[in-house]
Structure 1
């Protein structure tokens, strides 16, 4: 035992990091491999479920024609603008209601009532009021992302430890300093959970909005392909939405790592 060689921690960490980076992709890669094998073996009808290779070939063809990048850019624009508008509104309302008893008493009940209305049920109303243009889709996305960010911002601020606030007052911190040094940093983890959840709602809302009433975007491509029984394009659109959702989640995790770095310095991150 005395002669056992222990690798330096600096030499162990890269292998651990590589393993943890590859681990989340094992199941998706295995599923794609099984899908390709099932189609090649004739277990799945290629007319109904094209192989992954056929889907990739369809994507390359659509990219070369310019249709795919154009529709991806349109969907990204709608998602980004809708998230920015709805997220800003939700954050500001959560901030006001979390900090002000007057604002909370005035608006929280109304917001909670509206929050329980399925936002996708508003599609007919939005189409009647705003038509099928960009404003309708962006409005739906905004409504969808507003409530998760609102409720998490509000909850994060309201659940700040009162003893921390009392300690801050004891040290003579002003209200602005209390907010910047105690309230906001303490609420930030919960707020970022709301952002991560809202990103998922954003894509779900956009898929439905583009499928029902649109003449462009990834959802429109899927709906149009369905009419012509072009299953390769339908599956391609589903895969693109999945990849965009994963990209959004990576961005959210990166944002958490950057904003919550002060939490991880005191101990290991789960």
Structure 2
């Protein structure tokens, strides 16, 4: 009898995992800061009463998370920020859209909007408290006011800066007003509008920090203010780190929307090249 042939498994070469330096580089400086910070704390160069170590801040974060205090206040802050951005961003977009397209509306509204835009919105805190009290409406309204103007000014300039040749091309194809806006004006103004939204996200968190440290009973800002009263430096630093992480996540989300909605620009450039 013939012996059955033994099939040896085919060895495949594994490709080495390649890590792009473009993905690593943004984390170099934050990592160095954390390492130097931790080493300085371990060597006693930094007093825990002045600046707690990253490890102590992390332990405090784990404790507050397990107790439920951090998730509860974080969800409240996210709610206030999201609702305020949606209200303010929608108003800013509508006003920018109307004033950008209509000369009469622009003459009627833009001058007054620009006047109010130059008033620091945080200076309105006493007035908002008198009108709306210290509840959720006051905090959301303050965020809405802060985020409205970046979206407005960028939407307005985005629509006003659409190339006239595109408009003339649309007119030559006898596009209706709706088609003109949907196919030419809005896509051309979209990059500028997204810049306004991205800027509004930064204003949103800055405004919320101030709103939650004044007459608040919940939220990340309240946690920081309450920790300050008890000289709890770990929680104060933790709240600052949380705000920084939220701001970074918001920026990444905005970049993701830019890549998704402006994919036609990249495709167009690649075809030209």
TM-score by length of 1: 0.92
1:40 aligns with 2:49: no
Please name the residue that 2:94 is paired with: 92
Separation in 2, partners of 1:156, 1:143: 20
Distance 1:22 1:114 in 2: 43
Aligned to 1:208: 210
Task: List gaps (5 residues or longer) in structure 2.
Answer: 1-14
1:47-69: CA deviation from partner (whole Å, max 9, x where unpaired)? 21100000000000111111000
Out of 93, 103, 119, the position equivalent to 2:105 is 103
Within the candidate set 136, 139, 154, 2:138 is matched to: 136
Larger deviation, residues 69-78 vs 173-182: 173-182
Distance 2:195 2:18 in 1: 29
| Count of aligned positions | 256
Partner of 1:220: 222
Instruction: Report the alpha carbon displacement of residue 123 of structure 1 after superposing the two structures with TM.
Output: 0.5
1:167 — aligned with what? 169
- Within 5 Å, which residues of 2 pair with 1:117-132? 117-132=119-134
Q: Which residue of 1 aligns with 2:63?
A: 61
Query: Relative to structure 2, which stretch is displaced further, 89-98 or 101-110?
Result: 101-110
C-alpha distance 266-15 of structure 1, shift in aligned 2 (>3 A): farther
Residue 116 of structure 2 aligns with which residue?
Answer: 114
Post-superposition CA distance 1:71-128 (Å, at most 9, x none): 0000000000000000000000000000111111111111000000000000011111
Q: 1:189-200 counterparts in 2 under 5 A?
A: 189-200=191-202
CA RMSD, Structure 1 to Structure 2 (Å): 1.4
Q: Which is greater in Rg?
A: 2
Matches of 1:60 and 1:31, distance apart in 2:
21
Q: Deviations over 1:2-59 (max 9, x none)?
A: xxxxxxxxx99x847x322221111111111111011111111112110000000000
After superposition, give the CA deviation of every residue in 1:146-169 in whole Å (9 maximum; x if it has no partner): 000000000000000111101111
| CA–CA distance in structure 2, aligned partners of residues 265 and 23 of structure 1 | 26
Q: Which runs of no fewer than 5 residues in structure 1 stay unpaired?
A: 1-10
Match of 2:6 in 1: none
SS in 2 for 1:266: helix
Match of 1:177 among 176, 179, 189: 179
Residue 150 of structure 1 corresponds to 152
Alpha-carbon distance in 2 for matches of 1:227, 1:22: 39
Greater mean alpha carbon deviation, residues 23-32 or residues 86-95 = 23-32
Aligned residue number for residue 6 of structure 1: none
The TM-score with structure 2 as length reference comes to 0.91
**How much does 1:266 deviate?**
2.4
